Amino acid sequence: MTRTPEVFGPTVDEHTRCVHYATELDIIAIRFACCDRYFPCHLCHSETADHPAQQWPREKFDQPAILCGNCWTELTVTAYKAVDNCPECEAAFNPRCEAHSDFYFAG
């Protein structure tokens, strides 16, 4: 049986939406490179972790770092950056997350 990763921070529903981002498309969580824990967003990490966030380094973009809050599939950074929908369940991801990409991933 596959174990569902735990999502930390102030989530508001079972799809990883949080108090900061809760639109229909806000259904991913990011595994932060600094602590190996999933959070819905950079603000959730900032408010609840006891350390500063670190970006995913480019050489680790092939590791699972994104969690689809609809089907709980884990995606690599590379796979996530290449799609607008979950490749497993087709749920739409928020394209505006691109605006915050530098909080999560090295350029």
Per-residue pLDDT reduced to its tens digit, 34-51: 999 999 999 999 999 999
pLDDT value of position 98: 84
Quick one: what percent of the chain has pLDDT higher than 70?
A: 98
pTM: 0.93
Backbone dihedral angles phi then psi of residue 40, each to the nearest 5 degrees: -65, -30
pLDDT digits (tens, 9 = 90+) for 54-70: 999 999 999 999 999 99
Chain mean pLDDT for the chain: 94
Mean pLDDT across 3-32: 95
Using the predicted structure, report yes or no on whether residue 73 has a pLDDT greater than 70: yes
Mean pLDDT across 66-94: 96
Using the predicted structure, report yes or no on whether residue 2 has a pLDDT greater than 70: no
Mean pLDDT across 2-15: 91
Mean pLDDT across 7-31: 96
Q: 79 exposed, middle or buried (CB, 10 Å; 0-12, 13-18, 19+)? A: middle
